Amino acid sequence: MHFHLCTKLISKMSIKNNYPSIRPTLFADFASSKSLPFNFKFRRTGNATYVDSDGLIKTSTTDSPRFTHDPVTKQCLGLLIEPGSQNKQSYSIITTGNGWSTQATTTTDNIAIAPDGTNTATKLTADASGPSGHSIFKLVTTGANNNLHTFSAFVKSAGYNYGMVYVDTSGGNIGRTVVNFTTGEVTCVGTNGIGVLSDFGAEPYGNGWYRIWVAGRFTTSNNYYCHVDVASNQNGDAFTGDGTNGILMWGAQLESSWLTSYIPTNGSQVTQNYDYCQVEFDNTEWYNNRNYDGSWIIDARAPYNRITTGTNHHLINAAPAGDANQSYQIRFDGYDRFNTYGTGIGGYVASWGSYTSIVDQWNFNNQNNKIGWTPGERFLIALGLQTNNVSLIVNGKLTGNDTGATLRAIYNLQIGGTVHTNGFPGQPYSGVISKILYYPERLSDTVLLRLTDLDNN
């Protein structure tokens, strides 16, 4: 079963080989079951995309959860949770017929299979001129000065071994992200002027495809010239083309936020709405309301983006009321990749608990032995709950313990965000959760260390 419900809580626990003999009373195994337990409520207005078991991008309809897969290995990763976003590129298929302009290039439409399995990929050929840039680009004016934006596209070799995306404007360049199709190496160079770089990357999508992106802002402009280029080296330097070879491209996306899953457009901007997942319950069902002792285990991937300064990614938020300030949670603290905290590790795995004001019970977001994260990295996280004995354990390491905390009942469990009275998740998580378990007793730190050891789980 993917969800085990106990109406009679177990009061004794025995340990064998450092594992608990009691069963978790909440067991949601999203990666294995590709389904939600019966009392998990999920909603989302409109469609959203995910990677299916064949490695292709598919569309999920309104109120349907997305169980996404690694596009290369085809392994199911778990439940995909994302905040809302909008693709400001009105045509995600990149071609001159959709308002894109070329520089020292020609395009050939519908020449190859795209990452969604359709014959809609475009070839961008570098013409025999140069040395110069060999580009296709489109201007989008959106937002205000100094607003964060992320531009992404899917690229694949069609003779040249490097693909590139960048965003520039009059007076600056956010940066040129270049991927090596053979090795997967990704670099970003050329940030200048009023451009400010926040993040960049490339993710393999199978069959030679990569999704490549650059994120940042312009301090004094809201004009974004989004480029996809054929490149001849890792720096994206100007070169002379041969008039025959180039790259394949597909799926352009400009967002006034961090990177999210692909949002197809065909003539107008399209919004992908937030994912909302919640468990509502009577405390007599599975949550220990005798003394509120308990233990959470979460298997999840770190958020797929780092650009979260001023907010955080909440994996779970357990609340006694519909107020984010009266709750406890497990989260990934946010950070800007190029403006890290004094520790030098950027964001880290954290937890705090509060019942009357923010952080009045425990606060594991500033501990000395905190553990940082990188996008997509797997984490096993445990939160052990007992009056005067609350611990946060991450990947087999004790990162925080509070000997003065009190506990109380909860009535609402938000997955992938905080609980807000208006019904919208706050500080949303953006990534994949594989598994969530709750034990109705405080497992010892020794046991929790064992259960979160990545080498053995």
pLDDT of residue 159: 98
Q: Which CATH number applies to 86-271?
A: 2.60.120.260
pLDDT of residue 102: 97
Report yes or no: 394 and 349 within 8 Å, Cβ to Cβ: yes
pLDDT of residue 326: 75
pLDDT of residue 20: 81
Share in percent of the chain as helix, strand, coil (round to 5) = 5, 50, 50
Structure tokens at 198: 């926040």
pLDDT of residue 257: 85
| Residue 269 Cα to chain centre, angstroms | 22
Report yes or no: 271 and 300 within 8 Å, Cβ to Cβ: no
Q: Within 13 A of 376's CA, how many CA atoms are on the CB side?
A: 9
- Give the pLDDT confidence of 327-361 residue by residue, as tens digits: 888 988 876 555 433 333 456 788 878 766 555 68
pLDDT of residue 198: 86
Structure tokens at 239: 């070169």
Q: Within 13 A of 41's CA, how many CA atoms are on the CB side?
A: 8
The percent of residues in the chain predicted with pLDDT above 90, rounded, is 66
Fold that domain 15-83+275-456 belongs to in CATH: Jelly Rolls (2.60.120)
Report yes or no: 431 and 81 within 8 Å, Cβ to Cβ: yes
pLDDT of residue 284: 60
> Nearest 5°: phi and psi at 269?
-70, 145
Residue-range domain boundaries for the chain: 15-83+275-456, 86-271
Structure tokens at 199: 């993040």
Q: Collapsing DSSP states into helix, strand and coil, what is residue 447? A: helix
Report yes or no: 154 and 249 within 8 Å, Cβ to Cβ: yes
> Nearest 5°: phi and psi at 96?
-65, -25
pTM of the model: 0.91
Asked if 15-83+275-456 and 86-271 have one fold, the answer is yes
pLDDT of residue 282: 63
d(CA 149, CA 140): 11
Amino acid letter for position 67? F
Averaged pLDDT in 10-residue chunks for the chain of 457 residues: 29 47 92 92 95 98 97 97 94 93 97 98 96 97 93 98 98 97 97 93 96 95 97 96 98 94 97 89 75 94 69 82 72 63 55 69 72 87 95 93 86 80 71 96 96 92
- Give the pLDDT confidence of 389-438 residue by residue, as tens digits: 999 999 999 999 999 988 887 878 889 887 665 556 677 888 999 999 99
Q: 108 burial class (0-12, 13-18, 19+ CB within 10 angstroms)?
A: middle
Nearest to 324 by CA among 407, 390, 400, 423: 423
pLDDT of residue 21: 81
